[in-house]
Amino acid sequence: MPAAALAVLAATLTGVAEAEPGPDARPAPDLVLSLPAPTGPHHVGVTALHLVDTERPDPWSGDGRPREVVVSVHYPASDVRDHPVAPQLTPGAAAAFPSYAPWGFPHLPTSGVDWAATLTHSHVDAPARPGRRPVVLYSPGLVEPRAFGVNTAEEPASRGYVVVTIDHPGETFTVDLPSGLRPVGLPGRPDADPPLYRAVIATRLADTDLVLDRLEVLAAGGNPDAGGRALPRHLGRALDLRRVGMYGQGLGGTIAAEAMYEDQGGRIDAAINLEGFLDYHPEQPGQDGELLPVARHGAGRPLLLIGTEGFRNDRYRRAWAAALAHDHVRQHVIADANHWALTDFAATVPQLHAAGLMDDAGRAAMVGALDPAVAVPTVRRHVVSFFDRALR
């Protein structure tokens, strides 16, 4: 995304956040997208944490404010009565998404969808089931929200994991902070600006360290939320930080693999890269980019690379081949699928296509031809089975 376009997008999203609906506002569109229910034996609870790193300035704010990160914690719940299910997108993010979608997802319809109406299967602030459980972190794709990975996050949570999904403010299209909506604030296009791409990776790696630090506070009985918000009962006692994994999609997969490599303290035991590059962008056109350290040296711990048949290119193959030369690295490629079949779009894009809001080419470019009844269970199965072997 060009810098000028990013600036226009940021201004647009800020306007969306501040605008009040007029008296002649149209009623909400009638298409409501649905997400598949998790299949494990437990109900799923969810709560949000606002984390602040007072020692690190936010690189995307421009005013030196401390770095903020927002996470959702999905966990097995003991009692979900009187705890409503959470929407996929917060009201503010849902209002902003139609302005962002043409930039980030040009194949999505610009109207005809009620983005605020999609519900998850996670119950807000429900009490956690007793017992320490393995913890898995999730980082989303570039400029994408953690909310578009909820369908995969809920599956391991329903099977006894605590899953922590991360938003990276200033990079994600919009994030709900206590101070208001934070729109995208990158100063350019990371895939066309090699130094910026490196800075985004460094920021996400530091965000991951922050989340792990604050989870240690939570597991020790403290409250890491910057505002001191009351947390679900027994949540801290649900975390077993002796067993931690990480996965991510797109750039989030890059971060999961590299965070495990750079984790000298041994806090991350296993990682899944859902189709993230394992090199830096080349400094000059026609050159190969420098391989990330995890691809050059390996991590010495289990790493699963999951890709799709429709996304692979020479750059992808080169860096993944380097990683696969090391011990403890495996690969699986999903046939008839494309990049966003590794997110919630595996389930929702076919619904848009069936409703006539997306053409055949758009569906193929986003998720491929694979039936969602196959795509969704396939990704879930690989994620859960890998972490079962690595963490249990």
CA distance 207 to 248: 14
Q: What residue type is 321 in one-letter code?
A: A
pLDDT, one tens digit per residue, over 55-97 is 999 999 988 899 999 999 999 999 999 999 999 999 999 999 9
What does the mean pLDDT of the chain come to?
92
CA distance 126 to 42: 12
pLDDT, one tens digit per residue, over 343-361 is 999 999 999 999 999 999 9
| 122 close to 157: Cβ distance less than 8 angstroms | yes
pLDDT band with cut points at 50, 70 and 90 for residue 19: very low
pLDDT band with cut points at 50, 70 and 90 for residue 44: very high
Q: What is the pTM of this model?
A: 0.92
- Nearest of 138, 146, 313, 291 to residue 208 by alpha carbon: 138
Identify the weakest region by mean pLDDT among 28-42, 134-148, 223-237, 246-260. 28-42
273 pLDDT higher than 90: yes
pLDDT band with cut points at 50, 70 and 90 for residue 285: confident
3 pLDDT higher than 60: no
- Which has the higher per-residue pLDDT, 294 or 4? 294
Rounded to an integer, the average pLDDT of 283-309 is 94
Q: What residue type is 231 in one-letter code?
A: L
6 pLDDT higher than 50: no
The phi and psi torsions of 46 (rounded to 5 degrees) equal: -150, 145
Q: What is the pLDDT of residue 24?
A: 53
Contacts of 91 (CB under 8 A, 6+ apart): 116
